[in-house]
Structure 1
Amino acid sequence: MTPRTPARFADSRHEDRRRTFPALQPLEGEDFASSWWGNAWVEALEDTALDRARLTRGRAYARRGYVDAITVTPGRVMAYVHGTRPRPYRTEIRLRTLTDGDWDDFLATAAARPDHIAALLDKDVPHALASVADLLPTPGDLIPDCSCPDDGYPCKHAAALCYQTARLLDEDPFVLFLMRGRGEREILADLSHRNATRSAAERTGAASGTPVPTVPASEALAARPLRPLPPPFAPPAHPGRPPAYPQTPGAPDPLALDLLATEAAARAHTLLTTGTDPVAQLTQWQDAVRLAAAHPGSGLTASTRALYRDLAAATDHTPTDLARAVAAWRQGGLAALVVLEEPWDPPAGPFDRARPALIAADFPHFRPWRNHLSTRSLQLRFGRDGLWYGYESDPDREDWWPRGTPDADPVGALTALLGR
């Protein structure tokens, strides 16, 4: 199987909202993107991925030229990607298109500054302009789909398509605009119209010689009763999204900035709509665990591994401590984290009835210690909330990790732990 590799970037002459790019040449010893917007696309892919190994194989597929011609339409990137089978797989990446209001804000901002228009004509995207309408994808914004049997998120074929798409974006940012819903000719025609309208209005105002209206100082400074303040705006339905933070040498880590800004917006929205801040009662360690657990793909990419390292160091824990605590938080939130960290002596009752119930279900080998029931490799912990939490370890290692779903029935918790 030899993938097709034409000589250079080019697109077929389809209508403005559909562009097809022939398969790209194999890539040797280079990054997939050098522009900041191309790298933002790659980071969105890598921060969304749940399996680092699939990303590695996807990069290899892209470098070898396994991705055929790429077709870009609003909200969709599609290509056939070769794999281990003779027939290539139909692979897509979907993302949200901008609303007409978003495009109006973007085009109005671009038309207001000649340097923005000049940058776009030069195939460059100013940072300030990209943040106006959320042009750049964020983690979770890219939705992969592939006809292959691999259920990875993304699979290696979708990852290869994403990496090759970064090369297209690097060459021509209007490909990104097309993904978001508008073609190049459409955008440039709108900018030209807005610019001409703005210039005509400025010439008309200068020629009319209309005097600037004024207010006498005595009137402006005269005492008068203050008007009542208008009622406050209704809170928005959802927290706002932070802008995209580029990777710049010497600047703060963009992942950390995005994480903190998103957290601040979500907490502010909750406080505004409910009057309470559920995060305020957490300790610094508990909040660090919550932050790490909420981040997609935590611990898999280089950026999220750095996040684990920094959060662990700031709370006097190791990255392994944090990873174990994140597993508990994802198992059952703060209650599960307390079960992980605080053994206790339960009163007579449900805990005493657990071993007979397990023996009756043909699980006879659990030994008790405080609120724990353990075998060589399985463990159930009874929480103060009345739920049983499952744990696993290598045999005789006492290296327990939270697994499964909490359950009020110890047999149910063990069944979930064993995947039955």
Structure 2
Amino acid sequence: MKAHEDDLERTFAALPAARGKGFAQSWWGRAWLAALEDGALDLEQVRTGRRLARAGAVGAVSVRPGRITAVVRGRDRTAHRADVTLEELSDTEWDRFLDLAAERSGHVAALLDREMPPHLVEDAETAGVALLPGLGELEAACDCGAWDHCGHTAALCYQVARLLDQDPFVLLLIRGRAERAVLDDLQARGAAAPVTAEPARPEGVDAAEAYAAGDVLPALPALPEVPSEPGVPPSLDTDVPSPHGVEPAALRILAARTAAAARLHLAEALREGAGSPPPAERLTAAQDAVRLAAGEAGETGSDAVGERLGAGSGRGREQLARAVRAWRYGGVAALSVLEEEWTVDGEALARARAALESAWEEDERPPLRARGNRWTVVGESGQLRLGRDGRWWPYRKEGGRWTPAGIAARDPATALAAARSDDEGEEALSRTRRG
């Protein structure tokens, strides 16, 4: 693939047909497609666009801030100009993002390697900067006259997902900054990093003096800043034996998870214009055990803690490991798909069959054997599981057991491509989102 770069516009030559392949192998490419597939009002137009992109009907793609453009030929070979727009980040949002990226050298190194670090995206979202498009944010315009996504704009989105796989700077350009400008800003921030001591904390106000002052109260101290990392719990290693029934490793895990949650709540409270956060979903004891085991602190805990979490949730060691893997891919929804088998019937079955029918060309469709909400590829170690929300989850047989293999997708072909490949970035993304 050759690209011409002219400051704030890049033009990518038309890509060859993508028969029999998923359109996005990276987690950020799949997140881009999720914004299209979950936000489009007419899923049939999305399927048409997928078929057009798979057949190589999308011409050269022009990428510039806030807009992507290409000429797409419909099934009747008529050429149409398709545009998809995405709101650019403001200067304030760019400053936040670049400050976060410059904090860790690993972020910059990953970007230079054409990787999108999951932790960077997660931290940016926490700071109120959404790099990846959300539901309904990919706006469409086409000279065919459609008022929402048509087959031509959907095909363009599928093609851009392939470009994003190879170069995440394409996403940053759509959000408003060229690659060279981003790297120059990161270099400037790295070189200008302050080396002075931390400023002194504001002095506190004596409670008795404040009460006695009545209406004339001293000014409140400035709002705290969000720390770059959650606090580290104090060491519990002492020569004093632990009280009966108390597991120091378990306490370390709970303290670390509490510190991470406190940092997240502080960031939410300080976010500009933030309202009251939605109530957290109440987990069962079995689900919460998996959540704790899936956290980073759980990875460094003792075997005894893992055994207790497994026993408390009614799972053996292998079962807990698969549950943790599912959780990191999709939280409660992914865990339910792992552990529940249900009968697909009525309208849900009709939609599932239509999705499977349109996901591949007839001569490329893999042979599938259905049982409940699970479709297994005959002769392969790949499986698709349908969630109750209509998304498809990829599974792969490992050690004789079906194991989660990636995040969910609206397109069965995209999900199955994940089951046939190893994508460590997806697991890292899920770990940061769900941990």
Q: TM-score, normalised by structure 2?
A: 0.49
4+ aligned runs moved over 3 Å, structure 1:
84-87, 210-214, 222-242, 252-257, 300-303, 305-310
Q: Which has the larger radius of gyration?
A: 1
CA contact (8 A) 1:47 1:301 kept: no
CA distance in 1, matches of 2:198, 2:88: 45
Give runs of aligned pairs for residues 44-59 of structure 1, distance below 5 A: 44-59=35-50
Q: Tell me: CA distance 1:235–1:17, structure 2 relative to 1, closer, same or farther (3 Å).
A: closer
Shift of 1:212: 10
DSSP-derived class of the 2:137 partner = coil
CA contact (8 A) 1:23 1:67 kept: yes
Shift of 1:223: 7.7
Partner of 2:152: 157
Partner of 1:225: 208
Partner of 1:142: 138
Q: Tell me: CA distance 1:137–1:235, structure 2 relative to 1, closer, same or farther (3 Å).
A: closer
Q: Could you tell me which of 313, 327, 332 is aligned with 1:251?
A: 327
CA contact (8 A) 2:52 2:75 kept: no
Partner of 1:264: none
Partner of 2:87: 96
1:177 aligns with 2:172: yes
Partner of 1:25: 16
**Aligned amino acid, residue 98 of structure 1:** L
Q: Tell me: CA distance 1:156–1:115, structure 2 relative to 1, closer, same or farther (3 Å).
A: same
**Aligned amino acid, residue 61 of structure 1:** L
Q: Could you tell me which of 177, 182, 188 is aligned with 1:187?
A: 182
CA contact (8 A) 2:36 2:138 kept: yes
Partner of 2:106: 115
DSSP-derived class of the 1:250 partner = helix
**Aligned amino acid, residue 32 of structure 1:** F
CA contact (8 A) 1:67 1:164 kept: yes
Shift of 1:162: 0.4
CA distance in 1, matches of 2:86, 2:118: 20
Q: Which structure is higher in RCO with an 8 Å CA cutoff and minimum separation 6?
A: 2
DSSP-derived class of the 2:144 partner = coil
Q: Tell me: CA distance 1:254–1:101, structure 2 relative to 1, closer, same or farther (3 Å).
A: farther
Deviations 1:351-405 (A, max 9, x none): xxxxxxxxxxxxxxxxxxxxxxxxxxxxxxxxxxxxxxxxxxxxxxxxxxxxxxx
Uncovered stretches (5+) of structure 1, i.e. residues with no partner: 1-8, 243-247, 258-299, 311-420
CA distance in 2, matches of 1:178, 1:53: 30
DSSP-derived class of the 1:97 partner = coil
Partner of 2:33: 42
Give runs of aligned pairs for residues 19-418 of structure 1, distance below 5 A: 19-131=10-122, 132=124, 133-151=129-147, 153-198=148-193, 201-202=194-195, 205=196, 225=208, 227=210, 230=220, 239=275, 249-251=325-327, 254=330, 306-308=387-389
CA contact (8 A) 1:144 1:154 kept: yes
**Aligned amino acid, residue 10 of structure 1:** K
Shift of 1:124: 1.1
Q: Tell me: CA distance 1:211–1:120, structure 2 relative to 1, closer, same or farther (3 Å).
A: closer
CA contact (8 A) 2:11 2:60 kept: yes
Uncovered stretches (5+) of structure 2, i.e. residues with no partner: 211-216, 224-268, 279-323, 334-353, 357-383, 392-435
Q: Tell me: CA distance 1:144–1:71, structure 2 relative to 1, closer, same or farther (3 Å).
A: same
DSSP-derived class of the 2:327 partner = coil
Alignment RMSD (CA, Å)? 4.2
Q: TM-score, normalised by structure 1?
A: 0.50
Shift of 1:154: 1.2
CA distance in 1, matches of 2:355, 2:331: 11
Shift of 1:251: 1.9
Deviations 1:145-203 (A, max 9, x none): 1111445x3111111000000000110000000000000000000101111111xx43x
Shift of 1:96: 0.7
Identity in percent: 39
Deviations 1:22-50 (A, max 9, x none): 10011122111111110000111000122
CA distance in 2, matches of 1:252, 1:167: 24
CA contact (8 A) 1:44 1:140 kept: yes
